[in-house]
């Protein structure tokens, strides 16, 4: 069985974002039960319920560990110990890599990412806080199943098939003079994560567009976590809090003709869950008409702490 734990449901910035001062953010900070606070996007997966693999390392990781007993050292473990055996990255976004800095202190685990993302980490010496004697960095092959191993090479009972999806290079790595801001294949990955019994699910927290190839992969899936950044492509502009469309940020929207609700509607997916949800997305608001529409279309909205057994 696969144990899946949503550590953070929100996109970069979390919910509410630190500088948000709109009515929704104010209600959330005041403890409105319709607006629980959400940390930044990450899930943890375990085959044995004991050793966990993080998929993306959010800047909120320290809080996520303190919130989730599964990620805390077991009572009978050594004086320095962690159930986190590996980390797999889908891109180099701030909301997906900076949590690695919480994992310093010479604790062994394995780090997996596309070679381009490993290159970004190698070029930023602050990531040297991950002592290479304890934290091997392993490139993810494309479109091949890979057995995940812990830092010392012991198998974790999980395999990952990584594949490129349409997307954009991380915001902080954009090159304004290059085509597509310097985006290259491998900058944004989707993952199919499988247990020993072959049961699998998809984790795709960023995706700029649906392609025929991606649709074919997702056909008949048991479970898909999918990019829920924006409800509408221009919602940040309409709300007066930003100048960018979702398209410009490398995210397809939930709603609309080219949106994910329409794109995944006919793929016979048993369970669809939006994750990486931006603070402007009305999906966060319990009782919103947008949430009702997504639910009607068969979607769930990830919450911090959601557990799924597959
Ligand atoms: C994104 O998902 O588009 C990025 O996380 C944006 C950001 O870096 O804030
Ligand atoms: Mn992001």
pLDDT digits (tens, 9 = 90+) for 60-87: 999 999 999 999 999 999 999 999 999 9
Mean pLDDT rounded to a whole number for the chain: 97
Q: Is the CB of 8 under 6 A from ligand 1?
A: no
19, 97, 166, 170, best to mutate for ligand 1 pocket (most atoms within 8 Å of CB)? 170
Residue 231 belongs to domain spanning: 3-309
Residue nearest to atom 9 of ligand 1 (CA): 12
Query: Which numbered ligand comes closest to the C-alpha of 249?
Result: 1
Instruction: Tell the residue nearest (CA) to atom 7 of ligand 1.
Output: 12
Domain count, the chain: 1
**DSSP code string of 22-50:** SHHHHHHHTT-TTS--B-BSEEEEESSSS
- Residues 149/106, Cβ–Cβ less than 8 Å: no
**Beta-bridge partner residues of 224:** 202, 272
Average pLDDT over residues 88-111: 97
Q: What φ, ψ does residue 88 adopt, rounded to 5°?
A: -120, 130
Residue-level pLDDT at 272: 99
- Give the CATH number of the domain where residue 249 resides: 3.60.15.10
pTM exceeds 0.95 for this model? yes
Task: List helix spans (H) across 139-240.
Answer: 212-218, 235-238
11 within ligand 1 shell (Cβ under 6 A): yes
pLDDT, position 227: 98
Which whole number is the average pLDDT over 84-105?
97
Percent of the chain predicted with pLDDT > 90:
99
* Other Cβ atoms closer than 10 A to 122: 12
The pLDDT, as a whole number, for residue 282 is 98
Contact 36, 141 (CB under 8 A): no
The reported pLDDT for the residue numbered 256 is 96
171 in contact with ligand 1, CB cutoff 6 A = yes
If pLDDT is split at 50, 70 and 90, which confidence band does 235 have? very high
Tens of pLDDT, residue by residue over 22-67, are 999 999 999 999 999 999 999 999 999 999 999 999 999 999 999 9
Assign 268 a pLDDT band (cuts: 50, 70, 90): very high
What's the mean pLDDT in 234-250? 96
């Amino acid at each position: 069985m696969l144990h899946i734990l949503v550590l953070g449901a929100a996109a970069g910035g979390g919910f509410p974002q630190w500088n948000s001062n709109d009515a929704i953010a104010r209600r959330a900070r005041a403890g409105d039960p319709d607006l629980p606070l959400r940390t930044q996007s990450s899930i943890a997966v375990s085959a044995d319920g004991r050793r966990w693999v993080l998929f993306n390392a959010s800047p909120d990781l320290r809080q996520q560990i303190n919130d989730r007993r599964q990620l805390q050292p077991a009572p009978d473990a050594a004086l320095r110990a962690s159930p986190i055996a590996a980390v797999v990255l889908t891109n180099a976004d701030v909301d997906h890599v900076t949590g690695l800095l919480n994992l310093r202190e010479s604790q062994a685990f394995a780090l997996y990412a596309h070679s381009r993302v490993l290159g970004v980490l190698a070029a930023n010496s602050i990531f040297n806080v991950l002592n290479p004697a304890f934290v091997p960095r392993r490139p993810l092959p494309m479109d091949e199943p890979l057995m995940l191993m812990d830092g010392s090479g012991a198998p974790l009972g999980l395999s990952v098939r990584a594949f490129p999806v349409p997307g954009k290079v991380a915001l902080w790595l954009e090159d304004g003079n290059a085509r597509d801001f310097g985006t290259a294949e491998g900058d944004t990955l989707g993952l199919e994560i499988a247990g020993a019994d072959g049961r699998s699910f998809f984790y795709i927290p960023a995706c700029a567009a649906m392609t025929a190839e991606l649709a074919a992969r997702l056909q008949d899936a048991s479970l898909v976590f999918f990019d829920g950044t924006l409800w509408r492509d221009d919602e940040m502009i309409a709300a007066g809090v930003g100048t960018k469309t979702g398209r410009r940020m490398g995210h397809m929207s939930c709603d609309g003709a080219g949106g994910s609700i329409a794109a995944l509607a006919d793929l016979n997916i048993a369970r669809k869950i939006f994750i990486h949800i931006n603070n402007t997305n009305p999906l966060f608001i319990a009782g919103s008409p947008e949430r009702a529409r997504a639910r009607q279309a068969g979607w769930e909205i990830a919450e911090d702490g959601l557990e799924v057994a597959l």
